């Protein structure tokens, strides 16, 4: 548990936040009348691409799990393909969950699916980067006392806070304020984004404050 | 005093019911009343005002019309007459509106838009209180001053055909009547034919003065298939032809007698876009009102747009038209166009009579009436009126007279409008004192329940109720004295007319004693807790209890639901809250299952409490609760990690799949009945099935559901009740076939629709039989105390009897709700609760959540209009109050009741520890009293909210009913618990 680790964590998280902010402002230079609410789907796509890209780059640069050995190209390719499949599966999985939560089955399919994509971007992509396509490891990280490094700890916090943000984002939908952002799924995607950003901000701070108590199995 | 926690909880809920009842009595204000109701008949009518000169008009003016026909069409929305539908389907009426001798109005009904209060409003001119909705089921005779009673006193002969409600409201008023019951909603031809068949005969006869016709068909069509159904057009066309028949007959009679008659066409309330009524959408409030008479002659080119008026205005207008005194409690003002054709002196006389009546009502209901602008206007116009009379009697210059007359008339109309408005506002006055007393009781009980959590949930499930020592303490007497003094002060102060003061001194004293005793109990419990808390904090060996994710979710969900009750939209869409929570609960369970299944071996948590350390500081306040909640499940995970190991292969798969099955079931149920407000108009499976085109599908579905119900229920019944269950479910199908909901395979179309009384009674007999067998088994288990299984079987039989009753009462398209409820209960019992070994508290709360969700899955909402009244008449020939109310209440709250009774039978059969049942009872009481207490406080603070009548009040009634049912459930729990401990 070194302070440098926490610092690195903080910088990577700041970069992620920066990518979200970029996804809000950059498209307006290229696209006519771009705004988050009106061209929501476009923004969803752009945001998810940006966040994925930043996550991948950070993963390649920072290499949080240093234990990974040098391995053959074919292994890497299969691993990458597996990751893609996992990502797609997680999108469908989230889509199914939204429908179970009451999202319309037939109308607004594209909206619901893109919402699933962005939520996967916020949750599954970091998981894939950090843990690889290993469901058991995922389950371990997301159960009590299962984390083994600050990276996993921050992953746990950001993912859970994205879920909570999404969950809370559904609350304004029944209110009769007639605001444009109450339309499905805008409030939920915004909630997910806020949750993700909040998680990115909170996790380094929380880890910093609790650095005395935190002792991981491996360290 | 030592009490079991179940008994204690039951007592608490019963006290809570009393408190809520008192609160409700205070919250729903008594309507504006004139105190001089009885001697009103003897009172002479107000004489014409005159300044100096004495007027010769001291009697009531003579009637304007010889005969009056009131044609009331239930659910006649304004656009059915004045809109495009009217033009298309009601040509004669449209002709009358546009060119005929008529005045048309859009009459605005007030809440609640339900038939009986609206009839009362039409005939008394007063605004019945909201609580009349509840009394809609059994309408006692109307004792208030009203047009019908006045007409009877004046010797008018009245005839009535139509909705029975009238006959109940006015039992001895009609010389001839034929009431039709409105409870077979699916019938929309016979109800109206019953009225129309008398018409020819009656119109030919001349021996009546008032004829009232109440047509129910239109409303029934609305309930069954909505306002855009093609049936509406047919019905409107039929109504139009009836109106034409009546009008021509009246006109031909007028040609002989040369005195004008009056024909009134009106609706009692409108119809929402889904076809129901009871709430406050514009479609439900606006009704058509037309006055047709040859006295209202009109020149060609005289265009009269329908004006907006109040529904209550009709009573005053009818009274004037019939030459009767205006009903004493009427808050309406005369519809002036009806007297426009009369001489000015008469016009002013009518206006004066109305204004005198309104100002008298104001005097009796508002202490500071002299400052009311309406009253001042009235005094002024009365003075002017006197001047006008003097000029008139002196036969003054007609020009001056005319101008002054016009001015007086304008003044009067203004005064009437203001008076009427301020009187209508008077209705919304709350009886704060009663509300306060009720709230205090409820909150004290809640505090007591909360404070006794640690004791009540310990292993013995017993607690020391600190009642007797404080009863003799100083605090008790002091509180009692202070409260009594307050009571005397409040009740003797000038302007209070509250219910609680109206109670006898003994009763009020009893309530005071109760309140102060509760206060003392709360105080001593608090003191004890502080002492205990100090002891615990000194004790470092105190074991740290962990909150599982499920506990956190349950706590947050309960809190969130409580908070959501403060927003009107969340109340309207409360079903969304529950669906959301139940879904999240399933996902949390899923997480728990998967973790237990896959991570059991490799990652058993080491004693690394470091992560918890962070939470501990924030959750320090909650720690007490957490410890007590988890006392009885000390480290579930570590103690029995092999719970899932014992399962065989396919069972393990079922455990893994079960959350998803439940989630899918919930999703299917959600699309069965759209409820709430915002999305209520969405197409749903229920409407699709209920429409007459899909009768075959509905029949197949109903038959399948009944078979599945039998398959799921029978497995734990004794042989007799198995047979009874099968026959009963068969009877349910026969009943539905008899009333024409479903078809037998050999039956092509439903020709002979009966009320199905025999079939329904057949099922009732089996329900009673099964319940009786169950009770017998329970008693046997208590007496013999030998066999534990007898009790389990008995409880299951009681449960299955309730299931059969629900199957009978549910509409056929709702039978899948019952099926899924049984299915989810079975799955959860087998694959979730048993393998994961949840404790009684968690299981109770899950049952409560699912019960609430099923309340909405049934198609209920927090709106009175969704209550299925027809359930109260299953198997009854005539209206019988007690069974009807019981059946309706059961059909409405079937979801929560079935889940609660499943909880009893599950806990007493599955758990070995004797305290589970009393823990469950305590938790159930606690979790049910949370929302009701919060809601009472919220509603008190929101009592001037715009939606108080349309959203918050119906919800309050539902909450009141819910706490009553909770009390019944808790008493049942306690009874079961008693038999348990004795045996
Ligand atoms: Zn009606
Ligand atoms: Zn109706």
Asked if the peptide bond before residue B336 counts as cis, ω within 30 degrees of 0, the response is: no
CA separation for the pair B364, B35 (Å, rounded): 7
CA separation for the pair B25, B936 (Å, rounded): 13
pLDDT at residue B938 in the model: 93
CA B27 to centroid of ligand 2, rounded, Å: 26
- Window 631-670 of B: residues touching A by CB (8 A cutoff) are 663-664, 666-667, 670
Q: Verify whether the Cβ–Cβ distance A140 to B580 is below 8 Å.
A: no
User: Residue B578's CB: how many other CB atoms inside 10 A?
Assistant: 20
> What residue has token string 């078809």?
B743
**Could you tell me which of B467, B486, B485 has the C-alpha nearest to residue B476?**
B467
Question: Is B874 in a helix, a strand, or coil?
Answer: coil
Q: Verify whether the Cβ–Cβ distance A139 to B568 is below 8 Å.
A: no
Q: How would you write B822-862 as a 3-class SS string?
A: HHHHHHHHHHHHHHHCCCHHHHHHHHHHHHHHHHHHCCCCC
The model carries a pTM of 0.77
Element of type H or E holding B215? strand B210-215
pLDDT at residue B616 in the model: 34
Q: Predicted ipTM? A: 0.92
Question: Is B462 in a helix, a strand, or coil?
Answer: strand
Out of B594, B611, B663, name the one closest to residue A100 (CB).
Answer: B663
Q: Which residue of A has its CA nearest to B602?
A: A140
Give, as one character, the DSSP assignment of residue B60: P
Structure tokens at A211: 């650095």
CA separation for the pair B365, B427 (Å, rounded): 10
Structure tokens at B816: 């899948």
Out of A100, A175, A217, name the one closest to residue B569 (CB).
Answer: A175
CA separation for the pair A165, A188 (Å, rounded): 8
User: Residue B510's CB: how many other CB atoms inside 10 A?
Assistant: 12
**Could you tell me which of B182, B179, B183 has the C-alpha nearest to residue B195?**
B179
Residues in chain B with CB shorter than 8 Å from the CB of A99 are: 667
pLDDT at residue B696 in the model: 87
pLDDT profile of chain B (983 residues), mean per 10: 83 94 82 54 66 68 90 93 91 90 91 82 82 55 85 92 88 89 71 89 90 92 85 92 93 88 93 81 90 86 86 93 90 90 88 91 78 86 88 79 88 91 69 89 93 79 67 81 89 67 84 89 83 58 62 91 91 92 93 79 39 35 38 39 61 88 94 84 84 86 94 87 92 88 74 77 93 88 72 89 94 92 93 85 93 93 81 80 88 94 87 76 92 93 74 89 94 78 50
Phi, psi of A67 (to 5 degrees): -70, -15
Q: Which residue of A has its CA nearest to B606?
A: A145
Q: Chain-wide mean pLDDT for chain A? A: 86
Question: Is B980 in a helix, a strand, or coil?
Answer: helix
pLDDT digits (tens, 9 = 90+) for A82-117: 999 999 999 999 999 999 998 888 888 999 999 999
pLDDT at A193 > cutoff 70: yes
Q: Verify whether the Cβ–Cβ distance A100 to B667 is below 8 Å.
A: yes
Inter-residue contact B231 to B56 (CB < 8 Å)? no
The DSSP bridge pattern shows strands B462-464 and B2-4 to be: antiparallel
String of DSSP letters for B320-354: HHHT-PPPTT------GGGGTTS-HHHHHHHHHHH
> What residue has token string 């309730």?
B802
- Per-residue burial over B486-507, b if 16 or more Cβ lie within 10 Å, else e, is ebeebbeeeeeebbbbebeeee
CA separation for the pair A188, A40 (Å, rounded): 12
Q: Verify whether the Cβ–Cβ distance B606 to A217 is below 8 Å.
A: yes
Phi, psi of B787 (to 5 degrees): -110, 120
Sign of CA dihedral B685, B690, B694, B697: positive
Mention every residue, 6+ apart, whose C-beta is less than 8 A from residue A103: A112, A184, A185
CA atoms within 13 A on the CB side of B754: 12
Inter-residue contact B871 to B887 (CB < 8 Å)? yes
pLDDT at A58 > cutoff 90: no
Residues in chain A with CB shorter than 8 Å from the CB of B676 are: 174
pLDDT at residue B40 in the model: 46
String of DSSP letters for A18-42: HHHHHHHHTHHHHSTT--TTTTHHH
- Window 566-625 of B: residues touching A by CB (8 A cutoff) are 567-570, 572-573, 576, 579-580, 583-584, 587, 591, 594-595, 598-599, 602-603, 605-606, 608, 610-611, 613-614
Element of type H or E holding B310? strand B307-310
pLDDT at residue B51 in the model: 62
Inter-residue contact B687 to B860 (CB < 8 Å)? no
Structure tokens at B794: 């008995």
String of DSSP letters for A71-127: --HHHHHHHHHHHHHHHHHHHHHHHHHHHHTT--SSTTHHHHHHHHHHHHHHHHHHH
User: Residue B564's CB: how many other CB atoms inside 10 A?
Assistant: 18
Residues in chain B with CB shorter than 8 Å from the CB of A210 are: 610, 613-614
Q: Which residues surround ligand 1, an ion (CB under 5 A)?
A: B 74, 115, 219, 268
CA B76 to centroid of ligand 2, rounded, Å: 10
Structure tokens at A34: 């771009």
pLDDT at residue B544 in the model: 46
Which band of pLDDT confidence, cut at 50, 70 and 90, is reported for residue A163?
A: very high
pLDDT digits (tens, 9 = 90+) for B256-284: 888 899 999 999 999 988 888 877 788 88
> What residue has token string 């007030």?
B110
**Could you tell me which of B858, B887, B895 has the C-alpha nearest to residue B763?**
B887
CA separation for the pair B686, B521 (Å, rounded): 50
Element of type H or E holding B104? strand B102-108
Out of B583, B613, B676, name the one closest to residue A213 (CB).
Answer: B613
Out of B584, B605, B670, name the one closest to residue A144 (CB).
Answer: B605
Beta bridge partners of B307: B105
pLDDT at residue B426 in the model: 62
Element of type H or E holding B612? helix B610-618
Q: Which ligand minimizes its atom distance to the CA of B73?
A: 1
Residues in chain A with CB shorter than 8 Å from the CB of B579 are: 101-102
pLDDT at residue B611 in the model: 34
CA distances from B198 to B159, B177, B362, B826 (A): 10, 10, 42, 56
Out of B583, B594, B670, name the one closest to residue A139 (CB).
Answer: B594
């Amino acid at each position: 548990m070194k302070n440098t680790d926490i610092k690195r964590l903080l910088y990577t998280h700041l970069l992620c936040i920066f990518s979200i902010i970029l996804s809000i402002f950059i498209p307006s230079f290229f696209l006519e009348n771009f705004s988050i609410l009106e061209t929501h789907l476009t923004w969803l796509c752009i945001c998810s691409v940006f966040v994925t890209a930043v996550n991948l780059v950070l993963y390649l640069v920072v290499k949080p799990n240093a234990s990974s050995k040098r391995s053959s190209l074919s292994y890497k390719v299969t691993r990458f393909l597996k990751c893609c499949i996992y990502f797609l599966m997680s999108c469908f999985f989230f889509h199914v969950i939204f429908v179970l939560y009451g999202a319309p089955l037939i109308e607004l399919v594209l909206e619901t699916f893109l919402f699933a994509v962005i939520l996967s971007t916020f949750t599954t992509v970091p998981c894939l980067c950090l843990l690889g396509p290993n469901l058991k490891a995922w389950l371990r990280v997301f159960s009590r006392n299962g984390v083994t490094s600050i990276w996993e700890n921050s992953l746990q916090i950001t993912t859970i806070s994205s879920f909570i943000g999404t969950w809370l984002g559904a609350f304004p939908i029944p209110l009769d304020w007639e605001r444009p952002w109450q339309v499905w799924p805008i409030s939920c995607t915004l909630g997910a984004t806020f949750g993700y950003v909040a998680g990115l901000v909170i996790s380094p701070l929380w880890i910093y404050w609790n650095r005395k108590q935190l002792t991981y199995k491996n360290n | 005093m030592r009490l079991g926690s179940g008994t204690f909880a039951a007592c608490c809920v019963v006290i809570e019911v009393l408190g809520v009842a008192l609160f409700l009595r205070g919250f729903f204000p008594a309507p504006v009343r004139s105190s001089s109701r009885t001697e009103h008949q003897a009172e002479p009518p107000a004489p014409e005002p005159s300044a100096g000169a004495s007027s010769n008009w001291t009697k009531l003016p003579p009637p304007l019309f010889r005969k009056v026909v009131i044609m009331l069409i239930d659910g006649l929305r304004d656009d059915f007459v004045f809109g495009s539908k009217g033009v298309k389907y009601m040509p004669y009426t449209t002709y009358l509106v546009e060119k005929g001798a008529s005045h048309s109005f859009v009459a605005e009904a007030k809440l609640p838009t339900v038939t009986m209060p609206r009839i009362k409003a039409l005939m008394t001119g007063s605004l019945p209180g909201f609580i009349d909705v509840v009394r809609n089921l059994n309408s006692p005779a109307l004792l208030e001053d009203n047009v019908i009673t006045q007409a009877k006193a004046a010797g008018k002969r009245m005839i009535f055909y139509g909705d029975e409600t009238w006959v109940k409201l006015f039992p001895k008023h009609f010389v001839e009547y034929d009431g039709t019951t409105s409870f077979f909603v699916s019938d929309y031809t016979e109800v109206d034919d019953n009225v129309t068949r008398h018409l020819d005969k009656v119109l030919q006869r001349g021996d009546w003065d008032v004829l009232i016709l109440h047509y129910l068909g239109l409303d029934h069509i609305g309930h069954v298939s909505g306002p855009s159904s093609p049936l509406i057009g047919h019905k409107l066309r039929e109504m139009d032809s009836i109106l034409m028949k009546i009008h021509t007959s009246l006109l031909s009679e007028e040609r002989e007698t040369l005195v004008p008659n009056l024909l009134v066409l009106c609706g009692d309330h409108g119809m929402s876009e889904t076809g129901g009524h009871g709430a406050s959408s514009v479609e439900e409030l606006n009704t058509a009102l037309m006055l047709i008479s040859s006295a209202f002659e009109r020149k060609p080119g005289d265009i009269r747009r329908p004006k907006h008026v109040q529904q209550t205005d009709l009573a005053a207008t009818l009274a004037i038209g019939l030459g009767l005194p205006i009903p004493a409690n009427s808050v309406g003002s005369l519809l002036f166009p009806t007297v426009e054709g009369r001489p000015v002196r008469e016009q002013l006389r009518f206006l004066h009579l109305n204004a005198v009546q309104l100002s008298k009502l104001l005097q009796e209901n508002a202490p500071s009436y002299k400052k009311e602008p309406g009253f001042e206007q009235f005094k002024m116009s009365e003075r002017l009126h006197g001047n006008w009379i003097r000029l008139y009697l002196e036969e003054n210059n007609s020009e001056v007279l005319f101008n002054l007359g016009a001015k007086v008339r304008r003044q009067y109309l203004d005064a009437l409008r203001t008076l009427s408005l301020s009187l209508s506002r008077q209705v919304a006055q709350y009886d704060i004192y009663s509300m306060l007393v009720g709230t205090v009781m409820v909150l004290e009980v809640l505090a007591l329940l909360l404070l006794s959590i640690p004791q009540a949930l310990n292993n013995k499930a017993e607690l020391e109720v600190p009642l007797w020592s404080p009863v003799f303490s100083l605090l008790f007497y002091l509180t009692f004295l202070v409260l009594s003094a307050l009571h005397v002060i409040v009740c003797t102060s000038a302007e209070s007319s509250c219910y609680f003061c109206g109670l006898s001194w003994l009763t009020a004293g009893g309530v005071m004693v109760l309140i102060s005793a509760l206060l003392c109990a709360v105080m001593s419990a608090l003191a004890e807790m502080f002492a205990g808390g100090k002891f615990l904090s000194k004790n470092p060996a105190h074991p740290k209890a962990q909150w599982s994710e499920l506990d956190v979710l349950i706590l947050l969900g309960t809190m969130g639901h409580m908070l959501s009750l403060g927003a009107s939209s969340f109340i309207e869409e409360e079903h969304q809250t529950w669906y959301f929570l139940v879904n999240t609960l399933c996902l949390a369970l899923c997480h728990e299952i998967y973790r237990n299944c896959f991570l059991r071996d490799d990652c058993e948590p080491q004693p690394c409490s470091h992560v918890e350390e962070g939470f501990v500081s924030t959750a320090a306040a909650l720690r007490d609760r957490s410890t007590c909640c988890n006392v009885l499940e000390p480290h579930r995970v570590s103690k029995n990690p092999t719970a899932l190991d014992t399962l065989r292969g396919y069972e393990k798969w079922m455990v893994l799949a079960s959350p998803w099955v439940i989630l899918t079931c919930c999703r299917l149920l959600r699309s069965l009945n759209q409820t709430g407000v915002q999305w209520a108009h969405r197409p749903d499976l229920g409407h699709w099935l209920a429409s007459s085109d899909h009768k075959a599908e509905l029949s197949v579905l109903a038959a399948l559901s009944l078979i599945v119900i039998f398959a799921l229920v029978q497995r734990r019944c004794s042989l007799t009740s198995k047979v009874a269950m099968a026959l009963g479910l068969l009877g349910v199908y026969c009943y539905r076939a008899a009333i024409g909901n479903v078809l037998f395979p050999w039956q092509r179309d439903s020709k002979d629709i009966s009320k199905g009384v025999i079939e329904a009674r057949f099922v009732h007999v089996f329900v009673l039989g099964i319940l009786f067998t169950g009770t017998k088994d329970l008693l046997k288990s208590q007496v013999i105390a030998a066999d534990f299984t007898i009790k389990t079987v008995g409880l299951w039989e009681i449960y299955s009897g309730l299931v059969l009753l629900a199957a009978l009462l549910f509409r056929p398209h709702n039978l899948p709700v019952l099926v899924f409820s049984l299915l989810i209960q079975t799955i959860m019992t087998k694959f979730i609760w048993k393998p994961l070994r949840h404790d009684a508290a968690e299981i109770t709360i899950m049952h409560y959540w699912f019960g609430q969700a099923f309340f909405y899955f049934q198609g209920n909402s927090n709106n009175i209009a969704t209550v299925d009244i027809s359930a109260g008449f299953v198997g009854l020939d005539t209206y019988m109050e007690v069974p009807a109310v019981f059946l309706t209440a059961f059909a409405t709250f079937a979801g929560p009741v079935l889940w609660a009774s499943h909880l009893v039978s599950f806990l007493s059969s599955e758990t070995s520890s004797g305290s589970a049942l009393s823990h469950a009872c305590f938790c159930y009481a606690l979790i049910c009293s949370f929302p009701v207490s919060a809601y009472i406080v919220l509603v008190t603070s929101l009592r001037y909210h715009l939606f108080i009548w349309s959203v918050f009040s119906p919800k309050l009634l539902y909450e009141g009913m819910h706490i009553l049912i909770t009390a019944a459930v808790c008493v049942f729990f306690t009874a079961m618990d008693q038999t348990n401990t004795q045996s």
